[in-house]
């Protein structure tokens, strides 16, 4: 919107110019314009014109005199006193831009008055400024103590306070000195810290104060006048004793030399302290500068210019920019900062010596310790088998991180570039430093390799040369080009090539310091964020990990975190996102800005929702434990992280769609189940952190004694170097084993509860039980994950905690579930039964207390009887039995429970026990199969109840397919034959169908005699029986299961007489049924009949010819065909050295011409 005041002024100005057309534009000067504006009282426009002319170096004396006279403004300020009471005034801190001009733009009648009010406001500000200048001049004039014409005194009072005009003059000279000698960034910082002074205009210092000479000139004049720069001398008298005179002269010269050396030493010490202070200020200033960095690459590259804002929370000292004089000493300072200290445990550590900055010390294990660390496949290379790198963070962090936890995070996330055997020159650079002399040596070594090998696969040879040139080059633009060349050395760098490039980048960072890394290297990384090649984006993600120790804490917490966030959210390749997760874990490890916690937590949740299982796996194994460690340090583990995960789990279980045969809906169910499993797995991984949060509290610590013998959980071991081992991430006054033992004692006493313990009992466990209550058993992956979670929970928190805190909650929920099952007969639907396997397997089976096994057997028996009597599906009990059989020590308990069902007086319980034997048969030891399972199934097969016999048939089939024990198989064959020989079996339709299904399931696994003498004839007979049935429903049901059985039988090796006498007649009977009622299976049956007939036709030539030819061997679908196939294969695979020379090429015989 155009400024109405400016439009009015412009319109009035144009009207006045139109009235004097005789004036030529070329004749008008700035003085004429200034006079016209002042005469017409256009003071605001005149002030703007004066400002622009001063900036352009074309100041008009008339304007300067006018605005330097306060009387002009005082007179104007009192001309319209009534305006001050009628017009709204802004506060003293407001400016013209902050006025609400729309408030005045609509009122045409008061436009002129309002314009005058605005002009008055600006003039009032100008009057205040000039008044301040006059006050400075007055104070300066009144406080002058000596006449300028008096004698020069070299005695300077030390305690006299600085005067205002002196301070402003010194500030101006100091800023001028910084600009002239290359300290631009420091000059900008200094100007920002003195906002009330204009460093571009000397008149701002004070009125009528002449500008002195430059700061360097003043220093030299002082040294010259004070006599400090004169050569020390002493007048001596003429002596006739020449020898004494020579001795005295030598002594005098030595004394003079000693004094000079002392003065030089004092000067060097002072210079050293000044450099240290300026270097420390540089680091702190960068921390303040980087806290507000949210700029893209184009803005970040310009950070070394004149527009850097350094409004940090704590004003710091000056910051030095690399100058030419720094190049020679930079390497020595860098080596001094990285002094290697050896500890008693032979672990290497790096700290910063002789500085006022408290640096973080990282201790890293020797090579053999790192080699045992379990890492991801892509990082289990030779680089990780070598000693881990010793690194020092370039800025202090406020967090206390255990050394063992640091080692494990670094072994999984840090890109180790300290050892690159392919380029030994890099190691020499890091050890000996970089200098101009060294550059000549490196050029002599590198150029012979570069010249003949400037091709893609040899370009890494140029990296040492690029590093040295970047470090020593004084021009930022040229360094930027070289860095761009380094990042783009390869179009699509592979892993080893990326390691070489990263080694070069890290070398630059180690030698050149924070400024070059943050202002020049990181912008190059930013430019590669959206590169089209995945290898380039991988290089950026790996650079964030490799450069993390060489940037300031604020840059790590802001710029690097933003780069990783962008790649995690936007990159389309899972390998990049997985590397981002690892780099993010390293950044979070050393994060000390607690305000960034929520952003990191959100990124971790985003990684858990990633579509790639590799990304989610890295997030679960690395990122979430690191985030949990930070949350534990901040006291936000229960209140934020775990609460967020529980909310996520509740949302996923509520959003679970019902099971559907639709493929698309089924796929959605599987995806949601997988997401739920990921969330449960994260909770399981974070259980050790929850344990430490609950156990390492004051009520427990005060009862802990270091004299107690350590009693660690079976789950934890000092040899286990995972990120979730308390021995790795916990560091306290007492050993974690002693703390956990004291925790068990406090729980057993049960005297008091503390907030962390109450949160588990009142919030976490009830929430998990509510989640379990809403999950159906057919979500097997989720049920299995919950079982594993509670197994881990019991092992982690110990038997005492489970017995007193966890089990009572489950018992209460189980009682509610039993009541709901009992109420099913009154019209209520069956509730989800997932609580049963979680309670039985996850809690009861994990309790290592006396009588736990007996209680487990009783609970299983109660569920077996109760579910069977109520008619509830046995899926939950089936899952429980299958999981319990995976533990050898509990198999006998399961079989004993099933035997209780075998001898139970109620038939429904026996039926339930028979159906559960199907699960047990394939999971238990052979000894139990022979001594207890097989007799139990024989007993059930002899049961007078038809339903029990029918339920036993699948278990008998499982015995044949799952075991090779001849004794058990013979008993099973006999039992099945007894069923088939019973004439009354055809009267029971359900048992007949189950018998056909069982024969179809065992036809390919049973002995050949049983298949040819029993199964195939019985299937053929039942096909003829089905063709004669008059009940259409039974006929179709039987025909359907027979077709399934024949579809498995047709592929078995059968003799010709069995095929012709039994297989083909049975298929033709089913084909007649399908023609009438089962058209959907008609084509399948025709194909099976055609295949059986072809097998008979192929066998006929073999009957007419007694010789065995290749054709007859190929036609034989029995064992003869297999034998001939092996013979021919051996001929083909016979080694050439042993093959007779006259043997023809058999492969060529069968090759199509």
Q: Which two tokens stand for residue 36?
A: 């016209």
The residue among 110, 141, 172 that closes a domain is: 141
Percent of the chain surpassing pLDDT 90 = 24
Q: How many residues does the chain have?
A: 1153
**C-alpha–C-alpha distance, residues 578 and 573, integer Å:** 9
Confidence tier at 244 by pLDDT (50, 70, 90): low
pTM of this prediction exceeds 0.95: no
CB 1030 within 8 A of CB 1051: no
How confident is the model at residue 950, as a pLDDT? 92
Q: Mean pLDDT throughout 491-512?
A: 87
Look at residue 784 and tell me if it is in a domain.
Answer: yes
Residue 857 neighbours by CB under 8 Å, 6+ apart: 893, 896, 897
Q: Do 831 and 903 fall into the same domain?
A: no
Residue 448 binned pLDDT confidence (cut-offs 50, 70, 90): low
Whether 283 has a pLDDT exceeding 50, the answer reads yes
Indicate the residue among 981, 996, 1011 that finishes a domain.
Answer: 981
827 with 969, same domain: the answer is no
CA neighbor of 871 nearest in space, from 814, 822, 930: 822
Tell me the pLDDT tens digit for each residue of 837-880: 999 999 998 887 778 888 999 999 999 999 988 888 899 999 99
Query: 201 in a domain, yes or no?
Result: yes
Q: Closest by alpha carbon to 539, among 497, 508, 510, 509?
A: 497
Residues 821 and 710 in one domain: yes
Calculate the CA 976 to chain-centre distance.
59
pLDDT tens-place string over residues 900-920: 999 999 999 999 999 999 989
**Distance from C-alpha of 860 to C-alpha of 862, rounded to nearest angstrom:** 5
Which pLDDT score, from 0 to 100, does residue 1093 have? 87
Q: How far is residue 546's CA from residue 542's CA, in Å, rounded to a whole number?
A: 6
pLDDT score at 1113: 35
Contact call for residues 864 and 844 (beta carbons, < 8 A) = no
pLDDT for position 410 = 77
Residue corresponding to tokens 């001028």: 176
**DSSP H/E element including 340:** strand 339-342
* Gyration radius from the chain CA atoms: 46
More confident position, 207 or 214:
214
Q: Would you say residue 1144 has pLDDT above 70? A: no
Residue 165 contacts by C-beta under 8 Å, 6 or more apart in sequence?
136, 137, 139, 140, 205, 206, 209
Report helix, strand or coil for 309: coil
The pLDDT mean for the chain works out to: 74
Q: What SS3 class is residue 342?
A: strand
Q: How far apart are the first and last CA of the chain?
A: 86
Task: Please report which confidence band the pLDDT of residue 365 belongs to, taking 50, 70 and 90 as the band edges.
Answer: very low
pLDDT greater than 50 at residue 47: yes
Q: At what angle do helices 111-142 and 61-68 cross, to 10 degrees?
A: 80
- In the block, residue with structure tokens 């004692």: 745
Q: Are residues 661 and 782 in the same domain?
A: yes
- Please report the sign of the dihedral spanned by the C-alpha atoms of residue 544, residue 548, residue 550, residue 554: positive
CA distance 346 to 331: 27
Residue 823 is predicted with a pLDDT of: 80
In total, how many domains does the chain have?
A: 5
Residue 14 tokens read as: 């144009």
CA distance 591 to 561: 10
Compare 438 and 660 and report the one with higher pLDDT. Answer: 438
Read off the pLDDT of each residue in 935-959 and give the average, rounded to a whole number: 91
Burial class (CB in 10 A: 0-12, 13-18, 19+), 233: exposed
Instruction: Reply yes or no on whether the pLDDT at 1138 is more than 60.
Output: no
DSSP-based helix, strand, coil % in the chain, nearest 5: 70, 0, 30
Looking up tokens 């057919």, which residue turns up?
Answer: 778
Binned at pLDDT 50, 70 and 90, residue 219 comes out as confident
Question: Is residue 679 included in any domain, yes or no?
Answer: yes
Long-range contacts of 263-269 (CB under 8 A, 24+ apart): none
Q: What is the pLDDT of residues 121-140, one digit of tens each?
A: 777 777 666 656 655 554 55
d(CA 930, CA 886): 18
Token pair 């009541």 in the structure block, residue: 819
Residues 109 and 171 in one domain: no
Whether residues 807 and 907 fall in one domain: no
Whether residue 824 is found in the same domain as residue 936: no
- Would you give the DSSP letter of residue 339? E
CA distances for 359 relative to 195, 362, 376, 582, angstroms: 33, 10, 30, 24
Residues 456, 177: Cα–Cα separation, whole Å: 48
Torsion on CA atoms 799, 805, 811, 814, rounded to nearest 10: -100
What Cα–Cα distance (Å) separates residue 1093 from each residue in 1050, 1062, 1079, 1139? 11, 12, 22, 41
232: helix, strand or coil: coil
| pLDDT for position 1100 | 52
In the chain, the percentage of residues whose pLDDT exceeds 70 is 67
Domain contains 770: yes
Same domain, 258 and 117: no
Q: Kindly give the pairing relationship between strand 348-351 and strand 339-342.
A: antiparallel
The pLDDT of residue 32 is above 90: no
In a domain, 349, yes or no: no
Write the DSSP assignment of 43-73 as a string of letters: HHHHHHHHHHHHHHT---HHHHHHHH-HHHH
Q: Are 19 and 77 in a shared domain? A: yes
Burial 26-62 (b: 16+ CB within 10 A, else e): eeeebeebbbbbbeeebbbbbbebbeebbeeeeebeb
The mean-pLDDT minimum among 103-112, 746-755, 900-909 falls in 103-112
The band of 309, judged by pLDDT with boundaries at 50, 70 and 90, is very low
Per-residue pLDDT band for 755 (boundaries 50, 70, 90) equals confident
DSSP state of 118: H
> Is pLDDT of 292 > 60?
no
For residue 962, count CB atoms less than 10 angstroms from its CB and return exposed for 0-12, middle for 13-18, buried for 19 or more: middle
Q: Shortest CA distance to 838 belongs to which of 783, 777, 890?
A: 783
* pLDDT tens column, 964-1007: 888 888 899 999 999 888 888 888 889 999 999 999 999 988 98
Nearest Cα residue to 647 out of 601, 583, 688, 699: 601
The DSSP symbol for 341 reads E
- Name the burial class of residue 360, with classes exposed (0-12), middle (13-18) and buried (19+) by CB atoms within 10 angstroms of its CB: buried
CA 591 to centroid of chain Cα atoms? 13
Query: Do residue 646 and residue 736 come from a single domain?
Result: yes
Domain boundary among 141, 173, 202: 141
Q: Residues 707, 708, 712, 718: what is their CA dihedral angle, to the nearest 10 degrees?
A: 20
CA distance 847 to 360: 44
Contact 414, 583 (CB under 8 A): no
Decide if pLDDT at 418 tops 80: no
Q: CB of 295 within 8 A of CB of 317?
A: no
Residue 391, pLDDT > 90, answer no
Coil/strand/helix, residue 212: coil
Contact assessment for residue 591 and residue 557, using Cβ atoms and an 8 Å cutoff: yes
Q: What is the C-alpha to C-alpha distance for residues 720 and 718, in angstroms, rounded to an integer?
A: 5
**pLDDT score, position 910:** 93
Are residues 673 and 770 part of one domain?
Answer: yes
Secondary structure of residue 827 in the 3-state scheme: coil
Is residue 295, in this structure, part of any structural domain at all? no
Kindly state whether residues 895 and 838 are assigned to the same domain: no
> Looking at the domain assignment, is residue 596 inside a domain?
no
Lowest mean pLDDT among 157-161, 601-605, 890-894, 1060-1064: 157-161
Q: For 1051, which DSSP code?
A: T
Q: Is 808 or 1148 the better-scoring residue by pLDDT?
A: 808
Q: Please say if the pLDDT value at position 1103 is more than 50.
A: no
Q: Is 90 exceeded by the pLDDT of residue 954?
A: yes
d(CA 547, CA 519): 13
CA distance linking residue 733 with residue 719, whole number of Å: 21
Q: Which residue range(s) make up the domain with 746?
A: 635-849
Of 433, 430, 444, the closest CA to residue 390 belongs to 430
- Phi/psi of residue 732, nearest 5 degrees: -135, -170
- Decide if 413 contacts 582 (C-beta within 8 A): yes
Contact (CB, 8 A) for 98 and 117: no
Per DSSP, helices labelled H in 1007-1118 are 1008-1010, 1016-1028, 1032-1049, 1056-1058, 1064-1076, 1082-1104, 1110-1115
Residue 300 lies in a domain: no
């Amino acid at each position: 919107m155009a400024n109405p005041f400016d439009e009015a002024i412009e319109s009035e100005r144009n009207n006045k110019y139109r009235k004097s057309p005789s004036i030529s534009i070329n004749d008008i000067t700035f003085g004429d314009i200034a006079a016209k504006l002042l005469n017409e009282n256009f003071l605001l426009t005149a002030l703007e014109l004066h400002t622009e002319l001063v900036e352009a170096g074309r100041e008009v004396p008339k304007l300067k005199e006018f605005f330097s006279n306060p009387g002009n403004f005082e007179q104007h300020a009192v001309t319209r006193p009534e305006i001050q009471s009628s017009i709204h005034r802004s506060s003293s801190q407001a400016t013209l831009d902050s006025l609400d001009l729309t408030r005045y733009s609509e009122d045409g009648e008061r436009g002129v008055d309002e314009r005058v009010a605005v002009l008055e406001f600006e003039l009032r500000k100008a009057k205040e400024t000039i008044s301040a200048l006059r006050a400075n001049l007055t104070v300066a004039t009144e406080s002058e103590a000596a006449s300028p014409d008096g004698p020069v005194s070299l005695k300077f009072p030390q305690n006299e306070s600085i005067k205002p005009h002196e301070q402003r003059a010194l500030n101006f000279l100091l800023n001028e000195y910084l600009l002239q000698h290359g300290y631009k960034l420091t000059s900008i910082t200094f100007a920002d810290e003195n906002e009330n002074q204009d460093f571009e205009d000397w008149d701002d210092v004070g009125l009528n104060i002449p500008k002195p000479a430059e700061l360097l000139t003043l220093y030299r004049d002082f040294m010259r006048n004070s006599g400090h720069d004169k050569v020390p001398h002493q007048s001596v008298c003429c002596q006739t004793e020449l020898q004494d005179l020579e001795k005295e002269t030598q002594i005098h010269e030595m004394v003079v030399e000693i004094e000079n050396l002392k003065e030089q030493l004092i000067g060097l010490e002072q210079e050293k302290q000044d450099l240290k202070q300026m270097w420390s200020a540089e680091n702190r200033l960068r921390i303040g500068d980087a806290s507000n960095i949210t700029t893209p690459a184009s803005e970040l590259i310009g950070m070394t210019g004149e527009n850097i804002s350094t409004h940090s929370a704590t004003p710091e000292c000056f910051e030095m920019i690399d100058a030419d004089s720094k190049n020679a000493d930079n390497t020595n300072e860098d080596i001094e900062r990285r002094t290697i200290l050896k500890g008693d445990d032979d672990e290497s550590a790096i700290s910063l010596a002789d500085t006022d900055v408290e640096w973080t010390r990282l201790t890293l294990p020797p090579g053999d310790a790192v080699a045992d660390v379990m890492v991801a496949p892509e990082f289990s290379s030779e680089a990780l088998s070598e000693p881990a790198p010793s690194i020092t963070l370039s800025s202090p962090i406020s967090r206390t991180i255990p050394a063992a936890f640091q080692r494990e995070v670094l072994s999984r996330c840090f890109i180790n570039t300290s050892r690159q055997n392919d380029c030994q020159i890099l190691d020499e650079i890091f050890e000996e430093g970089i200098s101009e002399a060294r550059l000549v040596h490196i050029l002599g070594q590198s150029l012979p390799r570069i010249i003949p090998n400037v091709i893609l696969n040899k370009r890494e040879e140029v990296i040492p040369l690029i590093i040295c040139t970047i470090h020593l080059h004084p021009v930022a633009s040229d360094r930027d080009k070289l860095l761009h060349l380094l990042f783009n050395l390869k179009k699509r760098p592979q892993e080893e090539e990326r390691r070489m490039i990263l080694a070069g980048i890290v070398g630059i960072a180690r030698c050149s310091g924070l400024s070059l890394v943050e202002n020049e290297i990181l912008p190059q990384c930013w430019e590669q964020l959206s590169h089209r090649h995945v290898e380039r984006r991988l290089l950026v993600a790996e650079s964030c990990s490799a450069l993390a120790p060489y940037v300031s804490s604020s840059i790590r917490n802001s710029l690097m975190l933003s780069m990783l966030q962008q790649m995690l959210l936007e990159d389309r390749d899972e390998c990049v996102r997985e590397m981002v997760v690892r780099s993010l874990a390293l950044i979070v490890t050393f994060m000390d800005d607690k305000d960034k916690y929520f952003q990191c937590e959100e990124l971790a949740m985003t990684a858990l929702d990633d579509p790639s299982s590799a990304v989610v796996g890295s997030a679960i194994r690395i990122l979430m434990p690191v985030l949990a460690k930070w949350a534990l340090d901040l006291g936000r583990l229960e209140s934020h992280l775990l609460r967020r995960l529980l909310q996520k789990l509740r949302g996923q279980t509520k959003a679970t769609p019902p099971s559907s045969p639709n493929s698309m809906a089924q796929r959605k169910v599987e995806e949601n189940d997988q997401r739920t499993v990921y969330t449960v797995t994260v909770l399981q991984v974070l259980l050790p952190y929850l344990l430490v949060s609950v156990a390492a509290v004051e009520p427990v610590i005060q009862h802990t004694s270091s004299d107690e013998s350590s009693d660690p959980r079976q789950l934890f071991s000092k040899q286990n170097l995972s990120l979730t081992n308390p021995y790795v991430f916990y560091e306290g006054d007492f050993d974690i084993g002693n703390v956990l033992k004291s925790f068990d004692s406090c729980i057993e006493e049960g005297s008091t509860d503390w907030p962390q313990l109450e949160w588990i009992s009142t919030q976490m466990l009830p929430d998990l039980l509510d989640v379990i209550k809403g999950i159906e058993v057919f979500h097997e992956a989720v049920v299995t994950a919950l079982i594993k979670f509670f197994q881990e929970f019991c092992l982690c928190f110990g038997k005492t905690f489970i017995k007193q805190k966890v089990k009572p909650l489950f018992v209460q929920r189980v009682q509610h579930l039993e009541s709901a099952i009992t109420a099913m007969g009154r019209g209520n639907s069956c509730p989800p039964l997932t609580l049963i396997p979680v309670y039985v397997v996850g809690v009861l089976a994990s309790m290592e207390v006396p009588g736990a096994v007996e209680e487990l057997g009783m609970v299983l028996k109660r569920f077996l009887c109760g579910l069977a009597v109520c008619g509830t599906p046995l899926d939950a009990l089936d899952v429980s039995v299958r999981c319990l059989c995976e533990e050898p020590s509990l198999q006998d308990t399961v079989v004993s429970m099933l035997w209780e069902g075998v001898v139970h007086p109620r038939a429904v319980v026996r039926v339930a026990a028979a159906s559960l034997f199907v699960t047990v048969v394939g999971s238990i030891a052979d000894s139990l199969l022979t001594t207890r399972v097989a007799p139990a199934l024989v007993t059930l097969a002899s049961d007078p109840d038809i339903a029990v016999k029918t339920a036993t048939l699948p278990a008998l089939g499982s015995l044949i397919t799952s075991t090779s024990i001849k004794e058990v198989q013979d008993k099973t064959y006999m039992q099945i034959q007894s069923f088939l020989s019973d004439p009354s079996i055809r009267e029971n339709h359900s048992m007949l169908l189950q018998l056909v299904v069982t024969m179809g399931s065992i036809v390919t696994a049973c002995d050949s005699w049983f298949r040819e003498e029993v199964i195939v004839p019985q299937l053929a007979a039942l096909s003829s029986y089905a063709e004669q049935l008059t009940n259409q429903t039974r006929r179709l049901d039987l025909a359907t299961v027979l077709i399934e059985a024949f579809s498995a039988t047709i592929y078995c090796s059968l003799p010709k007489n069995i095929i012709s006498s039994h297989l083909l007649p049975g298929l033709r009977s089913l084909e007649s049924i399908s023609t009438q009622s089962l058209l959907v299976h008609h084509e399948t049956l025709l194909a099976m009949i055609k295949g059986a007939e072809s097998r008979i036709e192929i066998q006929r030539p073999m009957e007419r010819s007694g010789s065995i030819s290749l054709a007859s061997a190929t036609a034989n679908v029995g064992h003869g065909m297999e034998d001939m196939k092996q013979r021919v294969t051996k001929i083909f695979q016979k080694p050439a050295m042993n093959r007779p020379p006259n043997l023809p090429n058999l492969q060529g015989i069968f090759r199509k011409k």
